[in-house]
Amino acid sequence: MVENKKTKNLKEFSTSADRFEGANLLCPGCAHSIIVREVLNATNDDLILSAATGCLEVCTAVYPYTSWDASWIHIGFENAATAVAGAEAMYKALKRKNRLLQPERVPKFVAFGGDGASYDIGFQWISGAFERGHDMMYVVLDNEVYANTGGQRSSSTPIGASATTSPAGRVSYGEKKEKKDMMAIMAAHGSPYVAQVSPSKWKDMVKKIQRGLNTEGPTFINAVSACTTEWKFAPEDTIAIADLAVDSLVFPLYEIIDGHELNITYRPKNVIPVKEYLAAQGRFKHLFKPEFKHILDEWQVRVDKKWEQLQRREEARI
Amino acid sequence: MNKGWNEFDAGAILFTFNEKVGNISEIHSEDRPYSPSSSFTASVSDWRIEKPVFNKEYCIDCQFCWIYCPDVSIISRDKKMVGVDYDHCKGCGICVEVCPTNPKSLMMVAEGKDEEEVLAAWPQKDQEKNNG
């Protein structure tokens, strides 16, 4: 068993030396960098990182600057998983041939991608990397929209959200399709560890990241990333919105081990109505008109049903 | 750097540091040999309309501001909150929102305001909040 970095409390955690730099061009209050910082700080190991095209990539690698203090590569929109899988395969090959220059250093491989690059465009590549079983971790920064290109809907956009390609108006209530259940899909790949995290619950998140990094094989992390620009809320509310998402059970925090053993890792003491989560964001503003009330009601029913399903699965251990 | 779009190299490698560094996860930013390619050497201070001002007197070093800062702009050393890095702070205000003390130990003020003046006129403890 690998020794985890000690992160018992926040004071201890705060002695970490960040490997992600400021003066990147992400919006003020962007959750992406909070998530990336928590991931990088969760370990002291050497890291080999890649990023898919998206807000994170274009904002942290603006030539001639880079915001990364670890080996980091970007190739194309869809192949963050493939790039890191290739690096991992090369590392293994060199190790086998005894040709590593610094064999005592054992790196961890992490790929970052937005929901557009993971749920839609890069899905085939992620699926391939997971099927081949590379020893890597894939982190989705799930902001439920193509934020970098101006807020088009992705397959992660939830019902009722107004996006530029599914705008709300007099007739339409916005996005019509349900959010893709990526967690179940990745668990079905037989991944040894799949988890959903929120940056606002840092301890739960760091624990899951450490477990993901120390598990051999391809692991998957889905992180809710509140987007101040596209979700339309004030930049200082990022953490509050992430908390609302978790406490309203829209983003339940759970993990799936070996594709079947499901654990709910956080049960809110006071579950708040989904309405409050939706009301806090401008992208759902139109749902509060009387003609779209049925969408609001359906939201609550859907979230309750999902929570019930998760609890039943946790009990059944199958 | 005034290059046209078609004058850039098709691919590029940027080196964050000027020299070889050991275990980077144990070296804090002040001791790192940053190269001009690291965005650490750049500044986004002109993005701000408001800046957070830190009042040491009320701080309990809970480090909420450190972990939730998106721009690595809260400087924490030896489990103590030291201050704000105004070169990298974009003025989002998350640190003030998550500050749990009463009164808050961080406050957003207009960018041009004098820090001494702000500290002298710091809000008093909110009694109502305490009781409720």
User: What are the start-end ranges of the E strands in chain A?
Assistant: 47-51, 71-73, 108-114, 137-142, 193-197, 219-224, 254-257, 261-264
- Looking at residue B11, what is its pLDDT? 78
Which residues on A lie below 8 Å from B69 (Cβ)? 34
Q: Which residue of B has its CA nearest to A203?
A: B67
The verdict on residue A1 lying in a domain is no
Asked if A24 lies within 8 A of B71 by C-beta distance, the reply is yes
**CB < 8 Å to B61, chain A:** 11
- B47 and B108: one domain? yes
Total structural domains within chain B: 2
Kindly state the helix (H) or strand (E) to which residue A96 belongs, with its residue range: helix A80-96
Closest Cβ opposite residue B42 in set A65, A200, A237? A65
A-chain residue closest to B37, CA distance? A65
Position B4 in a domain: yes
- CB < 8 Å from A in window 83-112 of B: 85, 87-94, 96-98, 108
Residue A271's contacts (CB-CB under 8 Å, 6 or more residues apart) are A247, A248, A249
Neighbouring residues of A229: CB distance < 8 A, sequence distance ≥ 6: A27, A147, A151
Provide the pairing of β-strand A193-197 with A108-114.
unpaired
Q: What's at B24, amino acid-wise?
A: I
- The answer to whether position B60 is within a domain reads yes
Cα(A220)–Cα(A107) distance, integer angstroms: 18
Could you tell me how many residues make up chain A? Answer: 318
Q: Quick one: tokens of A51?
A: 């990023």
Gap from B78 CA to chain A (nearest CA, Å): 6
Taking the C-alpha atoms of residue A122 and residue A109, their distance in angstroms, rounded to an integer, is 17
Note if the bond before A64 is cis, omega within 30 degrees: yes
- Whether B132 shows a pLDDT value over 70: the answer reads no
- Tell whether B50 is within 8 A of chain A (Cβ): no
Segments forming the whole domain that contains residue A175: 10-316
Looking at the fold, whether B58 and B106 belong to one and the same domain comes out as yes
Residue A101 in this model has a pLDDT that exceeds 60: yes
Dihedral sign from CA coordinates of B103, B59, B90, B47: positive
Residues B68 and B104 in one domain: yes
What does the H/E/C string look like for chain A? CCCCCCCCCHHHHCCCCCCECCCCCCCCCCHHHHHHHHHHHCCCCCEEEEECCCHHHHHHCCCCCECECCEEECCCCCCHHHHHHHHHHHHHHHHHCCCCCCCCCCCEEEEEEEHHHHHHHCHHHHHHHHHHCCCCEEEEEECCCEHHHCCECCCCCCCCCCECCECECCCCECCCCCCCCHHHHHHHCCCCEEEEECCCCHHHHHHHHHHHHHCCCCEEEEEECCCCCCCCCCHHHHHHHHHHHHHCCCCCCEEEECCCEEEECCCCCCCCCHHHHHHCCHHHHHHHCHHHHHHHHHHHHHHHHHHHHHHHHHHHCC
Residues A43, A108 contacting (CB under 8 angstroms) = yes
Query: What value does the mean pLDDT take over residues B125-129?
Result: 75
Cβ of residue B67 closer than 8 Å to a chain A Cβ: yes
| C-alpha distance from B26 to closest chain A C-alpha (Å) | 6
Whether complex ipTM tops 0.90? yes
Q: How far is CA A106 from the centre of its chain?
A: 25
Q: In the predicted model, is pLDDT for residue B3 greater than 90?
A: no
B52: nearest CA in chain A? A236
Nearest to A192 by CA among A254, A135, A141: A135
Q: Which of B67, B74, B84 is the best mutation test for A, with the most CBs of A within 10 A?
A: B67
Q: Mean pLDDT for chain B?
A: 91
Structural domain range at position B12: 1-41
Domain annotation covers residue A292: yes
With an 8 Å Cβ cutoff, are A17 and B47 in contact? no
Q: Which of the 8 DSSP states describes residue B89?
A: -
pLDDT at position A4: 81
Total residues found in chain B within this entry: 132
Same domain, B9 and B33: yes
Q: Report pLDDT for A2.
A: 59
**Is it the case that residue A1 has pLDDT exceeding 50?**
no
Decide: pTM greater than 0.90.
yes
Percentage with pLDDT > 90 across chain A: 95
Residues of B in contact with A228 (CB under 8 A): 92
Out of A64, A70, A235, whose CB is closest to B14? A64
Question: Cα distance from B16 to chain A (closest Cα, Å)?
Answer: 6
Contacts A10 to B, Cβ<8 Å: 62-64, 66-67
- In-domain check, residue A208: yes
Reported confidence tier of residue B1, pLDDT bands at 50, 70, 90: low
For helices A202-214 and A31-41, angle between their N-to-C axes, nearest 10 degrees: 50
Element (H, E) at B52: strand B50-54
Percentage above 90 pLDDT, chain B: 77
Same-domain check for residues B47 and B105: yes
pLDDT, tens digit, 9 for 90 and up, residues B6-47: 887 777 888 999 998 888 888 999 999 999 999 999 999 999
Q: How far is A291 from chain B (nearest CA, A)?
A: 35
**Domain check: are B48 and B85 in the same one?**
yes
The pLDDT of A179-195, averaged and rounded, is 96
Same domain, B80 and B100: yes
Write the pLDDT tens digit of every residue in A240-283: 999 999 999 999 999 999 999 999 999 999 999 999 999 999 99
Nearest-by-Cβ selection for A66 from B16, B47, B97: B16
**Chain B (112-131) residues lying within 8 Å, Cβ to Cβ, of chain A:** none
B130 located within any domain: no
Strands (E), A122-234: 137-142, 193-197, 219-224
Model pLDDT, residue A237: 96
CATH of the domain at B108: 3.30.70.20
pLDDT tens figures, A106-165: 999 999 999 999 999 999 999 999 999 999 999 999 999 999 999 999 999 999 999 999
Cβ distance B39 to A60 less than 8 Å, yes or no, reads: yes
* Alpha-carbon distances of A316 from A181, A265, A311, rounded to whole Å: 20, 16, 9
pLDDT digits (tens, 9 = 90+) for B86-98: 999 999 999 999 9
In tens, the pLDDT along A54-88 reads 999 999 999 889 999 999 999 999 999 999 999 99
Has residue B98 been placed in a domain? yes
In a mutagenesis test of the A interface, which of B92, B98, B106 is the best target, namely the one with the most A β-carbons within 10 Å?
B92
Q: What is the rounded CA–CA span in Å between residue A107 and residue A263?
A: 28
CATH number at residue A106: 3.40.50.970
Q: Both B107 and B58 in a single domain?
A: yes
How far is B132 from B130, CA to CA, in rounded Å?
A: 6
Q: How far apart are the first and last CA of chain A?
A: 26
Q: Is the pLDDT of residue B127 over 90?
A: no
My answer on whether B103 and B56 are in the same domain is yes
Query: Do B49 and B37 share a domain, yes or no?
Result: no
- Among partner residues B63, B72, B76, which is closest to A21 by beta-carbon distance? B72
Looking at residue A35, what is its pLDDT?
A: 97
What count of other Cβ atoms lies within 10 Å of the Cβ of residue A45? 17
Q: Which residues of chain A have a CB within 8 Å of the CB of B1?
A: 64
Query: Of the candidates B28, B42, B62, which has its C-beta nearest A23's C-beta?
Result: B42
What pLDDT digit, counting tens, does each position of A277-307 carry?
999 999 999 999 999 999 999 999 999 999 9
